Amino acid sequence: MTAVEKRVKELVEEKIGDRPELFLIDIRMLPNNKLIIHVDGDQGIGIQDCAAISRHVGFHLEEENLIDNAYNLEVSSPGVGEPLKMTRQYHKNIGRSVSLKLTDGTKKEGVLKAVGDDQLLIDEERKEKGKKAVTVETSVPFAEITESKILISFK
């Protein structure tokens, strides 16, 4: 993490410190001088909160002259296709369908049922040739997950 990213983290945490339902997910300074801040909340995050964080961070970055050249500041919640990065994100998505990539290269998909300290529980549909699909409760340790995304259904 660069010095700018560390300072931005401090500024975001300072701004949301009195809002325990909000949490910082990620900060990235891209080579094209785009500073991206992803923040979320247990019940989601509104545009007003994103704007307030943006104003707070932008003001202090300018005041402290931390970035020498022009930059773009983007504060948002992670997009639909963004991988989950924090355990707290899993909790808010219980009941939704997830896609998991595992360390052994396999994939699992299912409905997220529960989240523990070191694993999650999904209801996975398995279909064997010539048989009806069955739902199996599967426990997946976080240590075996390389990427997880929420699946969006347009049914």
Domain boundaries, the chain: 3-76, 87-150
Look at residue 151 and tell me whether its pLDDT is greater than 90.
Answer: yes
pTM over 0.75, yes/no = yes
Contact 93, 150 (CB under 8 A): yes
Least confident among 72-76, 109-113, 124-128: 124-128
Task: Quote the radius of gyration of the chain (alpha carbons, Å).
Answer: 19
Average pLDDT score over residue span 41-63: 94
User: CA distances (Å), 97 to each of 26, 93, 111, 146, 151, in order?
Assistant: 23, 8, 4, 17, 5
Contact 57, 15 (CB under 8 A): yes
**What digits encode the pLDDT tens for the residues 91-100?**
999 999 999 9
Integer distance in angstroms from the first to the last C-alpha of the chain? Answer: 41
CATH class of domain segment(s) 3-76:
alpha beta
> Which pLDDT score, from 0 to 100, does residue 1 have?
75
Look at residue 61 and tell me whether its pLDDT is greater than 90.
Answer: yes
Distance CA 28, CA 79 (A): 15
The structural architecture, per CATH, of the domain 87-150 is: Roll (2.30)
pLDDT averaged over the chain? 92
> Which pLDDT score, from 0 to 100, does residue 69 have?
87
Look at residue 70 and tell me whether its pLDDT is greater than 80.
Answer: yes
Q: Residue written as tokens 């247990």?
A: 42
pLDDT band at 68 (very low <50, low <70, confident <90, very high): confident
Average pLDDT score over residue span 32-39: 94
Look at residue 2 and tell me whether its pLDDT is greater than 80.
Answer: yes
**What digits encode the pLDDT tens for the residues 8-27?**
999 999 999 999 999 999 99
